Amino acid sequence: MSTILNRDTGAERIAPASVELKAGVDGISLPDPLGFGNLMAPIMALAYYRDGAWETPRLTALEPLQLAPHAQALHYGQAIFEGMKAYRNLGALFQSPSLLFRPYDHANRFNRSAARLGMPAIDEEVFVATLEQLVAHLDKLVPDRHAQSLYLRPAMFGVTDHLSVTPSTEYCFVVVATPSDAFFTTPIKAWIERRYSRAGAGGTGCVKAAGNYAASFAAAAPLREQGFQQLLWLDANQRTHLEEFTAMNVFVRWEGKLFTPPLSDTILPGITRDSLLQLAGPLGLVMEERPIAVAELLAAIRAGADIELFGCGTGSVIASVEALGDETGMRVNLPPAVVAPTLRKHLLDIHHGLTPAPKGWQWPVGTRKQA
């Protein structure tokens, strides 16, 4: 068994994930169309936190977990997750077969989510090494096509079987994987949500708490039947300004600039959002973080202004919005996207190793320096 070295210092950190496999990936063929989350990889990574320490994550067959019916996460929602991707390396910049996108940034956000919910941190090196090892084992399930990926879902939840309203003392860390298309492959319709809120000041909106998503389900379900795929949330206090979509940050192209709402404790600091902000300058785009008033935006769209709206996130990459609606019966169509397709292609080229990117964004799987 080899030893993992710290990415910056080269110092020895931990033993890598041990392997305990009862399942293989041979013989699995990818469905066409692939869709999202339809085929779960038969192998997952798993580790438990007990007596104040994490055990070494291991790869094991994807099978149901044993969980007490009074496990903490089931009653009090002490559960978090991340959404990440491994892309097939389609370029010549790296030697490895696949690339993780900004894995240390996801590890860091995972730990911020954990801290917010009173959960233990997991060593970032262990987190990334575990993902690398999982992806290496699942290499046959990393799709070869541009824009497809092996979607990775690290999650952590409290498993202590006690009903006291206190943090769990035992946790489960699991990473499951699914070869997938982007969530949205065509422009979407978004519903401006005026009744419910996603996040309140001081709440958990700025981390990936599982409950944030459950809280959107009641609002979203009836809208899906009307063809709306995402809720576009407004600030909880005034309901006047855009915050983000249920699973994406929001950008608006308006008067030659790209705007996105500034981060706050009610907006998830998206890694895709940050990537776009960093790429704007080199791509000759002017991007600004600034509050976006929904009334002003709708008035401008109705007046025929040249406006483009899109969401961005790991699962979706970049999804253009073709129409907006809300409970007042308001319906507006947006003109065809101009910038979003260019940004999407550029970002995907980075994901697939076809275009260079800032250090740490393209993380080659399987080339970690070994002791």
- Residues near ligand PLP (CB under 6 A): 83, 244, 247-249, 268, 270-273, 313-314
> Which one of ligand PLP, ligand COI, none interacts with residue 268, CB within 5 to 8 A by kind?
ligand PLP
Minimum CB separation of residue 315 from ligand COI in Å reads 3
Minimum CB separation of residue 244 from ligand PLP in Å reads 5
Tell me the sheet residues that pair with 308: 253
Q: Which is nearer to ligand COI, 196 or 213 (by Cβ)?
A: 213
> Which one of ligand PLP, ligand COI, none interacts with residue 196, CB within 5 to 8 A by kind?
none
Minimum CB separation of residue 152 from ligand PLP in Å reads 11
Q: Which is nearer to ligand PLP, 60 or 229 (by Cβ)?
A: 229
Tell me the sheet residues that pair with 297: none
Largest Cα span, the chain: 65
Q: Quote the CA–CA distance of 328 and 66 in Å, as a whole number.
A: 46
Residue in the shown chain whose Cβ atom is closest to ligand COI: 83
Q: Which is nearer to ligand PLP, 29 or 217 (by Cβ)?
A: 217
Q: Which is nearer to ligand PLP, 168 or 212 (by Cβ)?
A: 212
Cα–Cα nearest to 64, from 180, 176, 231, 204: 176
Q: Quote the CA–CA distance of 24 and 27 in Å, as a whole number.
A: 8
Q: By the criterion CB under 6 A, which residues form the site for ligand COI?
A: 83, 213, 247, 313-315
| Distant-in-sequence, close-in-space partners of 106: CB < 8 Å, separation ≥ 6 | 82, 84, 127, 154, 271
| Residue 155 CB coordination number (10 Å) | 18
37: alpha, beta or left? (left if phi > 0; alpha if psi -120 to 50): left
Q: Which is nearer to ligand COI, 168 or 249 (by Cβ)?
A: 249
Q: Which is nearer to ligand PLP, 83 or 154 (by Cβ)?
A: 83
Minimum CB separation of residue 111 from ligand COI in Å reads 16
Minimum CB separation of residue 81 from ligand COI in Å reads 7
Q: Quote the CA–CA distance of 324 and 29 in Å, as a whole number.
A: 38
- Helix or strand run (H / E) with residue 43: strand 43-50
Minimum CB separation of residue 188 from ligand COI in Å reads 14
| Distant-in-sequence, close-in-space partners of 168: CB < 8 Å, separation ≥ 6 | 71, 72, 73, 78, 119, 158, 159, 160
> Which one of ligand COI, ligand PLP, none interacts with residue 271, CB within 5 to 8 A by kind?
ligand PLP
Cis peptide before 143 (omega within 30 of 0): no
Q: Which is nearer to ligand COI, 83 or 158 (by Cβ)?
A: 83
Minimum CB separation of residue 23 from ligand PLP in Å reads 28
Cα–Cα nearest to 64, from 46, 50, 82, 77: 46
> Which one of ligand PLP, ligand COI, none interacts with residue 249, CB within 5 to 8 A by kind?
ligand PLP
